[in-house]
């Protein structure tokens, strides 16, 4: 049953339909359910909150029946009971039948979401907090109408968002994109009608996540001439901040035309990151 929270977002009770391995470090999980009839999104980098059960639980513990008061009640649940909450990007939405795809990064050692995804099977229940209005504040990719060059960078946590963004762009849109993954097997063929040059960066086997590879790649890049560029960068928050400083301070891009999103922070779990916000 769909339960409203702060509009235009709602809770959706969903089930796993199928899974598909995309690469050594990535897995696509397809979800379905009657609630998806009320799900609306214009796509791009649509952010979602996914609630997962702990091992041994039949379903995730989320007191969404309390409406807008669900958050404090959820926080008060014991650690071993309270549903695991993680932020993800909508990869795709389909109708007839209603389905959504969410791509997971499989970590080693695995965290609770990675462990759940690796074992996910058809029928497994989840709860999703997502949009009931197509154009909503959880979509951050919003290039100004006069943009003549779009710059995109994302690490592996942002690959689903970048994939959806590229797929949404019309023909003749000029794009330079950089995507950083940990394994060459995670490189994907991305569909787009845009005039896009996509560079994949594969982390060194001995390198750490959030390495300076991205900054070095952007500093070395020769960008096509543009008067009104727009940049979207997302991934590890420390790396994202470095890239923003480079684009604004060294490239001279208007800071108001740079969207930057920290999807995660090196050394912190999502729970710890939320505590610092």
* Residue predicted with more confidence, 213 or 201: 201
Let me know whether 100 and 186 are in one domain: no
- pLDDT at residue 7, rounded to an integer: 67
* Segments forming the whole domain that contains residue 94: 3-131
Q: How many residues does the chain have?
A: 277
- pLDDT at residue 277, rounded to an integer: 47
Asked which of 101, 131, 161 is the last residue of a domain, the reply is 131
- The reply to whether 143 falls in a domain is no
Tell me the pLDDT tens digit for each residue of 3-45.
Answer: 555 568 999 999 999 999 999 999 999 999 999 999 999 989 9
Let me know whether 200 and 232 are in one domain: yes
Across 197-202, average pLDDT: 95
Let me know whether 14 and 125 are in one domain: yes
Let me know whether 10 and 76 are in one domain: yes
Let me know whether 124 and 162 are in one domain: no
Let me know whether 159 and 260 are in one domain: yes
Q: Residue 267: which pLDDT band, with cuts at 50, 70 and 90?
A: low
Let me know whether 101 and 189 are in one domain: no
In the sheet that 174-181 helps form, which strands lie side by side, from edge to edge?
195-202, 174-181, 149-154, 229-236, 258-264
Let me know whether 115 and 156 are in one domain: no
Residue 272 confidence (pLDDT) above 60: no
- The reply to whether 274 falls in a domain is no
- The reply to whether 139 falls in a domain is no
How many domains does the chain contain in total?
2
Let me know whether 59 and 96 are in one domain: yes
Tell me the pLDDT tens digit for each residue of 60-90.
Answer: 999 999 988 999 999 999 999 999 999 999 9
Asked which of 131, 163, 197 is the last residue of a domain, the reply is 131
Let me know whether 40 and 125 are in one domain: yes
Let me know whether 227 and 258 are in one domain: yes
Tell me the pLDDT tens digit for each residue of 88-143.
Answer: 999 999 999 999 999 999 977 888 999 999 999 999 999 999 999 999 999 999 99
CATH number at residue 160: 3.40.50.80
Residue 211 confidence (pLDDT) above 60: no
The bridge status of strand 174-181 relative to strand 195-202 is: parallel
Residue 215 confidence (pLDDT) above 50: yes
Q: Is 213 within 8 Å of 133 (Cβ atoms)?
A: no
* Residue predicted with more confidence, 167 or 270: 167
Give the span between the Cα atoms of 163 and 53, in whole angstroms. 28
Full-model pTM = 0.90
């Amino acid at each position: 049953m769909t339960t409203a929270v702060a509009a235009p977002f709602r809770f959706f009770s969903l089930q796993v339909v199928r899974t598909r391995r995309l690469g050594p470090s990535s897995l696509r999980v397809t979800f379905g359910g009657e609630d998806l009839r009320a799900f609306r999104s214009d796509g791009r980098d649509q952010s979602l909150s996914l609630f997962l059960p702990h091992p041994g639980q039949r379903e995730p513990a989320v007191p969404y029946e309390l409406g807008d008061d669900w958050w404090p009640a959820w926080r008060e649940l014991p650690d071993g009971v309270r549903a695991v909450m993680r932020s993800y990007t909508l990869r795709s939405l389909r109708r007839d039948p209603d389905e959504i795809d969410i791509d997971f990064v499989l970590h080693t050692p695995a965290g609770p979401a990675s462990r759940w995804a690796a074992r996910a099977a058809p029928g497994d229940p989840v709860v999703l907090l997502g949009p009931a209005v197509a154009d909503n504040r959880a979509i951050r990719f919003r290039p100004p109408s006069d943009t003549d060059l779009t710059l995109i960078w994302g690490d592996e946590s942002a690959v689903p968002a970048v994939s959806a963004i590229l797929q949404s762009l019309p023909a003749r849109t000029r794009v330079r994109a950089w995507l950083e993954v940990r394994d060459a097997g995670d490189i994907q063929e991305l569909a787009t009608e845009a005039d896009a040059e996509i560079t994949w960066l594969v982390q060194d086997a001995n390198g750490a996540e959030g390495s300076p590879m991205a900054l070095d790649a952007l500093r070395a890049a020769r960008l096509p001439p543009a008067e009104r560029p727009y940049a979207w960068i997302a991934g590890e928050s420390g790396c994202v901040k470095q890239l923003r400083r480079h684009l604004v301070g060294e490239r001279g891009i208007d800071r108001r035309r740079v969207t930057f999103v920290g999807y995660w922070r090196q050394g912190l779990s999502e729970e710890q990151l939320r505590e610092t916000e």
